[in-house]
Structure 1
Amino acid sequence: MRRLNTIQMMYKHLDWANQRILEALRNGEVPQQAIRLFAHILQAEQVWLTRLQGKDSSSLPIWPDIDLAACAQQAKSNNQHFQEYLSGFNDTNVQQIISYSNSQGKQFRTSIHDILTHVALHGQYHRGQINLLLRTAGNEPVNVDFITLVR
């Protein structure tokens, strides 16, 4: 499978998994930390998209204090913007190196492919933490496994 096809599938999974987590967080009593982690996932997606677009992300908080309604809006917006962003790429230009600053102002140069991979994996890491918090609070964890999506 071509690299871009893999990235596009990862972003289909990212949106699917975010929607499943959002639904679980809306249903019942959940720890505030789970909502905080979900808001962080979504904000990190926005921060990285801003960097990928060559814009300054320094004013965007990494750990926003937003509620589930705002999370739902941001998840929808992030998905739309990532789909638009990805539509302009092919296997060659997704390897392009971009420059950006992290939240501490340090400069980096990284390939678009590696950044997109990081964003997808970062979200999955934190969705696992959310599932642990859900289980600890007596809720059923959410199956966000990639294989479940592709079956």
Structure 2
Amino acid sequence: MSNQQAVEMYRFHNWANETIFKRLKELPESVYRQEMTSVFPTVAKLMAHIYFVDLCWIYILEGVDMRKATVDALSRQEEIEKLSLEELEASYRQVSRRYEEWIAQGQDLDQRFMLDNPYTRKRDTSYAEVLFQVANHGTYHRGNLSAMLRQIGQSSVMTEYALYWYNE
């Protein structure tokens, strides 16, 4: 995997999230907090989860230990879950800018570091792999979101990587 591929996958992730925010703002406001029996109890909690994980990983890329990054990100969970869709979108944009600033520093994405994951074990990984993980995690949960929206009679929006190619 090249450094450029990793950056491009992150940028796809960001584009896909922006596409989802745009779609969610087109739906009735009640959809965002509508309770359902699904992967997440509400769309708001799912979107907050994507945000938390992105926040956790940027902390790690910036040099924070994963245990501390996880605690710091999750300490804001209740606060973030209460934000309106527009407020969460603004918070997401701030995190996205941090990623772009980190990328702009010219990091060697092949650089390896020890990731001490409190949910599993230590692993030697690279910055590029982290960017792929961020994109993959978002893709997984955007799929959950599409299913949740269909479950309540709403349509989602396509966020496929190939569509991103044509929207650059």
| Residues 41-79 of structure 1: per-residue CA shift (max 9 Å, x gap) | 111011011011112312221892322233112210121
> For 1:37 and 1:63, how far apart are their aligned partners in 2?
15
Matching residue within 37, 49, 61 for 1:40:
49
Assess if the C-alpha contact under 8 Å between 1:39 and 1:63 holds in 2: no
Counterpart residue type for residue 48 of structure 1 = W
What are the ranges of 5 or more consecutive residues in structure 2 without an aligned counterpart? 36-41
Assess if the C-alpha contact under 8 Å between 1:37 and 1:126 holds in 2: yes
Q: What residue is the counterpart of 1:9 in the other structure?
A: 8
> For 2:147 and 2:115, how far apart are their aligned partners in 1?
33
SS in 2 for 1:98: strand
Q: What residue is the counterpart of 1:121 in the other structure?
A: 136
1:140, CA displacement in angstroms?
1.1
1:111 is aligned to 2:152: no
1:89, CA displacement in angstroms?
3.0
Q: What residue is the counterpart of 1:24 in the other structure?
A: 23
CA RMSD of aligned residues (A): 2.3
Q: What residue is the counterpart of 2:77 in the other structure?
A: 64
Counterpart residue type for residue 103 of structure 2 = L
Matching residue within 112, 116, 136 for 1:97:
112
Q: What residue is the counterpart of 1:141 in the other structure?
A: 156
What are the ranges of 5 or more consecutive residues in structure 1 without an aligned counterpart? none
Assess if the C-alpha contact under 8 Å between 1:17 and 1:144 holds in 2: yes
Matching residue within 117, 128, 132 for 2:147:
132
When structure 1 is superposed on structure 2, of 108-117 and 57-66 the one drifting more is 57-66
Q: State the identity as a percent.
A: 23
1:6, CA displacement in angstroms?
1.3
Counterpart residue type for residue 136 of structure 2 = L
